[in-house]
Amino acid sequence: MKPLATVKTQPEPVAADLFAKCRQYTTARDVMAMGIYPYFRVISSAPGTVVTVDGQELLMIGSNNYLGLTNHPKVVEAAVEAARRYGSGCTGSRFLNGTLDLHVQLEERLARFMKRPAALVFSTGFQTNLGTISCLVGRSDTIFADRSNHASIVDGCRLAFGRTVKYAHNDMADLARVLETAGNGGGRLIVVDGVFSMEGDIVNLPEIVRLARLHGARVMVDDAHSIGVLGAHGAGTAEHFGLIDDTDITMGTFSKSFASLGGFIAGEEDVLHYIKHSSRELIFSASMPPASVAACLAALDIIENEPERRARLWEITHRMHREFKALGFDIGVTETPIIPILIGEDIQAFQFWRELTERGIFANPIVSPAVPKGQALIRTSYTATHTDAQLDFVLDTFAKVGKKLGVIA
């Protein structure tokens, strides 16, 4: 036996510092140092068509307040009255002590509005996709997802135990290809945005429904940017195409046309009953606070009874499509109130944003990795309450900035 003094021992491995990546991250600070950092801006006013940022009034074309209901007196008063009656929160999940009569009333109203047997309300829109997709898709199942789907769909697919197969954006030939080659084991779910939040285009739902029938798949449509906007009554993409009964699950959010916070799904009662008792995101999250639910109910009243708001939104949309193109801007394939102004490189988009801000416009620069490199854009979106004078100002300002920075001739 060797003496203990001569025994060689391996040095203990040194653990990597978990926070090293945080200290090495300099991208945002580099942009801050250049004076063109556009994120986490502090707004000190109500979210209307004009907002106050650092004491400056800016014309807002960077929100999703499509019907202009965030300041509607009926919506605000409904939220205030609910807070007075029910308090500020529910202190628990829907599953246990957090279901109010307001939640049930909203679900019943949404089911009728969406022309579906049932609806189920979640606390946020992001959570709605996580909780629905991960709950339904098991180990032997397959998801077919558009490559431009929202991050909440992407993360819902990651949480699901099944396999995810992606297809090229709104490319029905590519969807047909992956459906044919993915194998036939287990259930199949095609999940897709109704209106894509960056591009502004509408999903080819008729062809998706046809392919789903052909290949035995179910269809789930994320209508976050469609509810209140598309369809004869504002019920979204399926109503727009006359395919309500052919769309298995429709998801919607309350943070856009409904001027509140939360999300929902609408579909078959048995499917929603299963999700209601199986979705971790629903069961283990505090439920929507009373004020938010009441605001949704008031917004739904307005959506149903004031179709002129939606008509005005589309009047604005068609005008801005036409006039941006006439100025020489590339607005891509948009068909909706989401109008991207394609710029090019990330830094150029930040510079464009700064020029807009200095001239009194609040818009959002979208850069990689949210869009492919070299395809940075300014995302604009419009509200039914924008005036013609405000739209004139937007177009005049974009023309000046576009020419100054060489985006248009």
Q: 72, 103, 150, 225: which is the annotated catalytic residue?
A: 225
Distances (CA, A) of 250 to 23, 75, 235, 317, 340: 42, 24, 10, 24, 25
194 and 202 Cβ atoms separated by less than 8 Å:
yes
Q: Which residue is listed with tokens 């309450």?
A: 385
Antiparallel, parallel or unpaired: β 249-253 and 263-267? antiparallel
Name the nearest CA neighbour of 355 among 395, 409, 394, 398: 398
Q: Which residue is listed with tokens 């939606």?
A: 310
382 and 315 Cβ atoms separated by less than 8 Å:
no
Q: Of all helices (H) and strands (E), which one includes residue 301?
A: helix 290-305
Is 256 a residue of the active site?
Answer: yes
111 and 268 Cβ atoms separated by less than 8 Å:
no
Quote the CA–CA distance of 187 and 163 in Å, as a whole number: 11
Instruction: Tell me the one-letter amino acid at 58.
Output: L
Q: 63, 123, 152, 197: which is the annotated catalytic residue?
A: 197
Residue 364 β-bridge partners: 379
Q: Which residue is listed with tokens 């269809």?
A: 219
Q: Of all helices (H) and strands (E), which one includes residue 23?
A: helix 20-24
Distances (CA, A) of 407 to 20, 391, 394, 399: 39, 20, 16, 9
Q: Of all helices (H) and strands (E), which one includes residue 192?
A: strand 188-193
Quote the CA–CA distance of 342 and 377 in Å, as a whole number: 4
Name the nearest CA neighbour of 339 among 368, 370, 381: 381
Is 197 a residue of the active site?
Answer: yes
Query: Is the Cα dihedral 340, 342, 345, 347 positive or negative?
Result: negative
- Spell out the alpha helix ranges (H) of 160-204: 172-181
The token pair at 309 is 């708001």
Q: 240, 256, 260, 386: which is the annotated catalytic residue?
A: 256
Quote the CA–CA distance of 227 and 82 in Å, as a whole number: 24
Residue 52 β-bridge partners: 57
292 and 254 Cβ atoms separated by less than 8 Å:
yes
Task: Point out the residues that are catalytic.
Answer: 197, 225, 256
